Amino acid sequence: MYYYYYYYYFIYFLMGFKKTPNVIPTNEKPCIKNTNCVFNDRTVISNHFLKIFSRYSFKSYTVFSTVVIMHTNSSSSPLQNPPNLIGNMQSSETPTNPLKRSFETMINNPQQSTQQYELDVFKVAMGQNTIANIDNGGGMIAVMIINEFEKLFKEQLFEKKLIMFLAPTRKLVEQQCNVVRENTDLRVDFYHGSKVSMVDDGKKVDDWDAAVWEHETDKNDIMVMTPTILLNALRNGFIKFEMIRLLIIDECHHASGNHPYASIMKEFYLKSVNKPKVFGMTAFLVNKKGASSTGNCEARITMLEKILDSRVYTIQNRTDLQDVTPTASANKSLKITEKSPSGADVTPTASANKSLKITEKSPSGADVTPTASANKSLKITEKSPSGADVTPTASQNKSSKITEKSPSGKDVTPTVSGNKSLKITKESPSGAGTTKRKELHGTMPIRAVSGTWGDNHDDGMDFYAYGISFVCSVKDVKYSSFVLLLESKLDDDVANLEMRLYLVSKFVNCKVSSCAKLHLNARQVANGKCFQELFFNGIYAKFFPETDPKLWTPSYMYLLLPLASLDPFEINWKMIDSCVFAIEFVKKLSVSSAEKQNVDSIMTYSENTSMIHFANKCVHKDDITNMVVFAIHTGKLYSVIDILQDETACSPFDGDTKKYSSFEDYFKKKYKIDLVYPAQNMLLLKQSHRAHNLLVDFNGEGILHGKKIKAESCKVNTDRQRYNARLPPELLVTIDARLDVVKSLYLLPSLMHRLEALMLASQLREEITGHMTNIHVSSSLILEAITTLRCNESFSMERLELLGDSVLKYTVSCDLYLRYPNKHEGQLSSARSSQVSNSTLYNLGIVCRLQNYIRDVAFDPTRWTAPGQLPSRPCPCDHGVETIEVPIDTKYHTEDPKILTGKCCDMGHRWLGSKTVSDCVEALVGAYFVDGGLTGALHCMKWLGISCELDSSRVDEAIKIASLHVYTPKLDVLQGLESKLGYEFVVKGLLLEAITHATDQNPDQRVGYCYQRLEFLGDSVLDLLITWYLFNKHKDIDPGELTDLRSASVNNENFAYAAVRRNLHGYLQCRSVTLQTQISDYVKFVATSSTDTNSLQTNKSPKALGDLVESTAGAILLDTKLNLDEVWRIFELLLTPIVTPEKLELPPLRELIEYCDSKGYFIKDKCRRLGDGVTAELSLQLEDDLLIAEATSPTRKVARGQAALKLLSQLENKGILRKNQGEDNRDGEIGNKDVQKSDTSRSNVTRFDPQPAANTSIADSKMEEESNSKTEIPVINSINRNKGGPRTTLFELCRKMQWTMPTFTHSEEKSRTLIEIGEGVDKRTAFNKFESEISLNIPNYGIIKLMGEPRADKKSSCDSAALLMLYELQRQRMLKIG
């Protein structure tokens, strides 16, 4: 037993004595005692000191120090000779509470004083805001929390802190006050409507003023009151919410609507900076009133958690409770108890709020008690990016994961005994690495484009020069070469690049090549910047003479200059100097305009009529074609097409004639320019246009979203009307530049976008590989690994992600197998799942800052800017983050569906799907495996933080263990199997283990092994080998189809079929009669069935057959000492034929769904129990026929598959669906032509040929016939008029009624002037007008066709047509609205 003492000494002149303490050890927890009383509370000590300090006035003193005395001998009482402290303080001043139970007793002796469930709740509540769902005992749990908070109060002796205990009724207030008073030394009082003041003439609490409340808060540490009292005091400012450190809420289920509980949380808690800890207690998570359904209960529980900023905790063991009476059926709990491998009880609780509680002992002996509620999952501790343990709060909504430590120190998901894994980890939809959660992340700056030469280039600058040349597919079209000048040297595979850019009717081959180092003097650097500012702003934005110097930032600084020739290398300084002269002229002109001078005052004049008077000079009319000019009033660059012989500035204006009478009048009124030569012929000019994405071939066999483009709807419209400008020559400044330079500038945004992306990939490669020379991964492959589908590139990370997933699975499996020779398959699988889970990979990626490298934003050429260029479409940052990199914080996480991913602000911030980070981790591993082999993949994994050591010594140890197996009695079996495999084992014991089933155990002599560990290893080996084979064999198919190929090849059904086909099943050593019967039945089925894989997919094979193939692969892998090439040599023959895209048959249900999606059909699915089986019924409504198929099977999945197979057969019999139809769509084209033709034919044909109506293609006579049908008329409450609302309502109606999806046909009308479109709230002004025709096919009725009203955009026009269709359906008595 320990006794601790605080010993304080002071140097002061107080009460006429000085105390000097003895020297005592200071290594134990202190408390203070004197002769007459015991002090266990620092608050009591501070009260004594404050009384002394206030009683005596002293001029100088030294603040006390602490010395600790420890007595460990229980036989010697420390009270015999206690140290005399500050005089003779009387115990009457601070009496201890004789009723108080020792807190240590509560914790250490739960059987005597505290129930176990109370301790469980207490431990969870101390870690996070908690709502305890318990029937009784909440008061004592609150006392335990209060006593723990006493220790926290000791840290702030002179800062007033309060504990607020709220209860909804007067009776509960007094009851809880008594419980707290009896079990704590803190000062406590209660407050409700009958409470009167003892210092202010007995006023009731509702009439108290600030002075009374100040007196009450000063004299108490705990205030027990009704929520109304506290709410009024907070609103009046009598109590400051910041004073509250612990908020206990009894009967907290009342916290909803306008209840005072909810008002306190919304008005004060959520707005406070330093929020108090919240502990809620309730026996009823949901009020009886209104709790009519499980969904209703879940919604109410979720709302309760949100309001109280807490997580619901449901107790695990209710045997301690004497009276357990759930208040509603929705609140019942399901108790499941299993033994973990360590022998600990694992008891999840499932209730209507989906609350799961599991308590087990961690390796350290501590209780781990997580909870999950309201469709959320709780992770008690998780690793932050810094490696620290983090306990997420209710607002952090992270995934649930329960782990135990493996011998290596790794986190491993605990498993139950046997070979079954207890899946405790349940990924929350909003957890790390999931698709639902979105996170705000920054963009990594590219070091290669940074520069320090901005304004400090007096001595010139040395640059690395990279030549850029263009060769067009049309020989007569020429493009000027350019040079890229960078301060940094690029890697060779970035500096020497060849790529193709796609224009409307041609393509351009681009080549980037590294040139020698180049020195530019200060004047050349300045002139180069002028050229870049003029041309890039004049084409893509507007050029202003005084360019903002902030447009040249050190983080983004390079020069793109035209070349006079590439070989020999020569920069076109003549053109650049001409640009400088033009800029100086425009600056001088701006000064003249400010001084009210006319344009002609600085303009060259000539009497020659063959000369054209420009702003800066006169040019002969025969020399102006294709001349590059700059308009001084618009800041734009143009090229001259021709002279308008019949049009001058005096000609009538062809725009708004009411406002402007002539072009001269237009320039005077709008730009305040008085033309000097209005009679001069105007020029026809070609306007500069916005940049386009030239990286994708939209007109040919290009790829978008990983799929080939063949649809007409995706092609660029080459017939669109183009408008040319007409301007007076005197407003134009000539530039000595060739037209081919301007044409090349339209290519540079796409080229530089790709080049900068490769620089970023090269930068990431440098971080991963460092200076290693034996591993080289191309920058283009790294770029593929960090590029998502959303980028709309011809490549994405999906293929590499698929491969990386297999590589990770294989390496982690090998590492675990070799590291833990005594762990069974269930434990190994659970550990592997934990290490390669999306959540784990996400955390690893975040630590490596991989999120900043991911390219998830589609290239928008209109937002691309060169250094010195003004953004034409700025997107200011509104995320509240001032730095480029976004901090890792939960406040930058969201599940809001309105938040869009794939959009980037000017700061580089963008919302990114959480799963994208984990996908990128897998893709990077795949990229390093492709170029660096297994060595490269292991190096990348090590950089990421995944350490997998495939040590040969561990392999030898595993082989040594297998060599001890006695195989002689079964040597003939082993040799027969070796002949089937075509491989002779060095260690026969490995093959023996691979074919030994768990049931093959002789009761007299147990062998102690079975194939399950080798199966675990072989599963990952075959997964990697088959994936690698398909990855290399089919490089042109889209990633989705590659995934389908792997799924069709790597599965137990396929392996079982191969085992029977190669007659391997007879070598399986098992003693289970049931299993042998199942194998015999399956062998007969394979022998009598067709080779149609669909029939195999709908019939379950014995799992042991697939396991046999996998375990054999694992055995060969070990016997060859991890020689993957040798394993594949054997298994390629064993698994042949491997499925190809042409022969790929999807699972029947998926094939049916994809077909219906392509045609706009809907399927209804009904399943019901029938004896020991499940009967599935699928119905498919065609345009004029209803197909129904039914199947019965032991499982729902197989029954639905068999029913789908029957429906597919019916479609084939009708000639609607051809066998292997997928061959015609193997490339996964976007907007398939056949589908479009079918849709068009439906929209043009009325099947039943009714008489035409006034506004539709359906006769009114059909209304009566339909209204008398037995079909129930659907009802919708209202139509959402917001954008997309009418279409959504119509689509949902079609889905419900199984009508074919409606089709839309669009028409567009363009205007040079703004036109008014729509009426009322839909009224808009725009240059384009869209109209949409809608066609809806109703089975057994016909086709309804309507034309929507004109709208300013295509989607709004579709909404208009959909809205009219809904009203037409109502008129036809096929729908009720409202």
Where is pLDDT greater, at 210 or 918?
Answer: 918
Q: Can you tell me which residue has the tokens 């002075």? A: 211
Query: At a CB cut-off of 8 Å and minimum separation 6, what does 1197 contact?
Result: none
Query: At a CB cut-off of 8 Å and minimum separation 6, what does 1136 contact?
Result: none
Q: Which among 994, 963, 1258 is positioned nearest to 1110, based on CA atoms? A: 994
Residue type at 192? H
Q: Residue 415 — pLDDT band, cuts 50, 70, 90?
A: very low
Q: Residue 1271 — pLDDT band, cuts 50, 70, 90?
A: low
Where is pLDDT greater, at 148 or 1269?
Answer: 148
Q: How far is CA 510 from CA 473, 492, 493, 1045, 1110, in A?
A: 11, 16, 15, 36, 49
At 77 the pLDDT is 36
Beta-carbon neighbour count of residue 1376 at 10 Å? 12
Could you tell me which residues are beta bridge partners of residue 507? 502
User: Going along 615-680, which residue ranges are E strands?
Assistant: 618-620, 628-631, 637-648
pLDDT at 557 over 80: yes
- Kindly state the average pLDDT of the residues 816-837: 93
Where is pLDDT greater, at 765 or 349?
Answer: 765
Q: Residue 305 — pLDDT band, cuts 50, 70, 90?
A: confident
* φ/ψ bin of 13: left (φ > 0), alpha (ψ from -120 to 50), beta (otherwise): beta
- Kindly state the average pLDDT of the residues 976-992: 94
pLDDT at 382 over 80: no
- Kindly state the average pLDDT of the residues 128-146: 82
Could you tell me which residues are beta bridge partners of residue 1332? 1306
Share above pLDDT 70 across residues of the chain, in percent, rounded to a whole number:
72
- Taking the C-alpha atoms of residue 767 and residue 305, their distance in angstroms, rounded to an integer, is 43
pLDDT at 121 over 80: yes
- Kindly state the average pLDDT of the residues 687-714: 64
Residue-wise pLDDT for 144-153, tens only, equals 888 888 766 6
Residue-level length of the chain? 1378
* φ/ψ bin of 275: left (φ > 0), alpha (ψ from -120 to 50), beta (otherwise): beta
Q: Which helix (H) or strand (E) holds 928?
A: helix 914-944
- Kindly state the average pLDDT of the residues 923-949: 94
**What DSSP state is assigned to residue 1104?**
H
Share above pLDDT 90 across residues of the chain, in percent, rounded to a whole number:
37
pLDDT at 1311 over 80: no
Q: Which among 382, 373, 385, 429 is positioned nearest to 402, based on CA atoms? A: 382
At 533 the pLDDT is 93
Where is pLDDT greater, at 1365 or 1239?
Answer: 1365
Where is pLDDT greater, at 314 or 776?
Answer: 776
Q: Which among 1172, 1167, 1169, 1173 is positioned nearest to 1189, based on CA atoms? A: 1167
pLDDT at 738 over 70: yes
- How does strand 130-133 pair with strand 277-282? parallel
* φ/ψ bin of 460: left (φ > 0), alpha (ψ from -120 to 50), beta (otherwise): left
596 HSE (CA, 13 A, CB side): 0
> Does the bond joining 568 to the residue before it have cis omega, within 30 degrees of 0?
yes
The torsion angles phi and psi of 1232, rounded to 5 degrees, stand at: -55, 135
Q: What average pLDDT does the chain have?
A: 77
Q: 3-state SS string over 723-756?
A: CCEEECHHHEEEECCCHHHHHHHCCHHHHHHHHH
Where is pLDDT greater, at 115 or 539?
Answer: 539
